[in-house]
Amino acid sequence: MSLLNVQGVTKDFGGLRANYDISFSVEEGEIVGLIGPNGAGKTTLFNCIAGYFPVTSGQIFFEGKDITLLKDFEIARLGLARTFQVYGASGDLNVLENVMVGAFLKTASRNQALELSRKIMAFMGIEAQANSLMTEIPVAAQKRVTLATALATEPKMILLDEVAAGLNPSEIEGLISLLKKINQEKKVTLLLTEHVMELVMRLSKRVVVLESGRKIAEGDPQEVIKNEQVIRAYLGESFLKRTSEQV
């Protein structure tokens, strides 16, 4: 039984069809990448899986349970966490408090939440920033905090929405090893959507490619990028013609 099973998901916004009949699955322990050009519908799909939007049709199963109609916080409680891209001016909570919010999902005790949070922050390498506000730390650290918070909910799977956005090459390097660590040591399955190809290629066991709302390819990263349709989707028809003429 797959950990996550997406079947025939279609999502309409009024007249616009953002996702059309998308199906794929994610096995436990895998890292799967969801890629595609801008506007392909990746974030929409994410939001549907996480329960943030209701789907227009189709079904989603998590651990064999039908979660299609569940609300986002109910899905989070089942062990499917997600991260958000937006970093607002989080005035109030410092880093430790942020992580504790996550920890409080599984425990009502402040002491336990505190302990759990400290452990996770150590794991993520951010204990030094415990008392800083989000606005006081660099972007790369903010991402670690968001990841730590999601981890604190003790999820079985995390949906990562463009987690590498805005990072420089060495930070991306760090993120890659961190995500590997999370996957292997904490046994968390990851589904990530990304524009930063390097991250997806090196981390993912499999990738799923979306274009204009549909799934156009799926498989091993190295093979998928050679797929004609994928090249056409990203780089356009003329580039495809040129490359095939060169051969």
Partner 1 sequence: MEAIKNAFDFSDFPRLDRTFAGLVALFLIGFPLFPHSSFAMATMIQFLMFSVYGMGWNTIGGYGGQVDLGKAQYVGIGAYTTAVLLIRWDIPFWFSMPLGLLLSVGWSFIIGYPLFRLKGHYFAIATIATSLVLKDIFEIWTFVGAARGLEISPIKYKPPDFYRLIFREDVYYYYIILGIFFVALFYMNWFRKSRLGFQLRSIKDNEDSARSLGIDVHWAKIKTYAVATAFVSVVGSFHACYIKNIEPEDTMSLDISVLIALMAMLGGAGSLWGPIIGAAILIPLKSYLKEWLGASAGLVGIDLIIYSTIIMLVAAFEPRGIWGIVEKIRRKRRKGL
52 sits near partner 1 (criterion: CB under 8 A): yes
Nearest CA to 58 out of 166, 182, 214, 165 is that of: 214
Among 8-16, 88-96, 221-229, 232-240, the segment contacting partner 1 (CB under 8 A)? 88-96
Q: How many CB atoms are located within 10 Å of the residue 237 CB?
A: 9
The order of strands in the sheet holding 4-13 is 16-26, 4-13, 57-62, 65-66
Decide whether 20 or 129 has the Cβ nearer to partner 1. Answer: 129
Measured in whole angstroms, the distance separating CA 239 from the mean position of its chain's CA atoms is 30
Binders of partner 1 in range 200-229 (CB under 8 A): none
Helix (H) or strand (E) holding 242: helix 237-246
Among 89-97, 122-130, 182-190, 213-221, the segment contacting partner 1 (CB under 8 A)? 89-97
103 and 91 in contact (C-beta within 8 Å)? no
Candidates 108, 222, 226, 238; binder of partner 1 (CB under 8 A) is 108
109 sits near partner 1 (criterion: CB under 8 A): yes
124 sits near partner 1 (criterion: CB under 8 A): no
Among 26-34, 74-82, 210-218, 239-247, the segment contacting partner 1 (CB under 8 A)? 74-82
Bridge partners, residue 198, by sequence: none
Q: Which amino acid is at 153?
A: T
53 sits near partner 1 (criterion: CB under 8 A): no
Among 17-25, 81-89, 179-187, 235-243, the segment contacting partner 1 (CB under 8 A)? 81-89
Candidates 25, 43, 90, 212; binder of partner 1 (CB under 8 A) is 90
84 sits near partner 1 (criterion: CB under 8 A): yes
13 sits near partner 1 (criterion: CB under 8 A): no
- Token representation of residue 217: 């390819």
130 sits near partner 1 (criterion: CB under 8 A): no
189 sits near partner 1 (criterion: CB under 8 A): no
83 sits near partner 1 (criterion: CB under 8 A): yes
Report in angstroms how near the CB of residue 154 gets to partner 1 at its nearest: 10
Report in angstroms how near the CB of residue 128 gets to partner 1 at its nearest: 14
Nearest CA to 33 out of 229, 233, 218, 227 is that of: 218
Q: Please tell me the chain's helix, strand, coil percentages from 3-state DSSP, rounded to the nearest 5.
A: 45, 25, 30
DSSP of 88-145, one letter per residue? ----S-BHHHHHHHHHTTT-S-HHHHHHHHHHHHHHHT-GGGTTSBGGGS-HHHHHHH
Among 30-38, 110-118, 168-176, 201-209, the segment contacting partner 1 (CB under 8 A)? 110-118
Nearest CA to 222 out of 194, 202, 242 is that of: 202
Residues at the contact surface with partner 1, assessed by CB under 8 A? 50, 52, 71-73, 76-77, 81-84, 86, 88, 90-93, 97-98, 100-102, 104-105, 107-111, 113, 133, 136, 149-150, 153
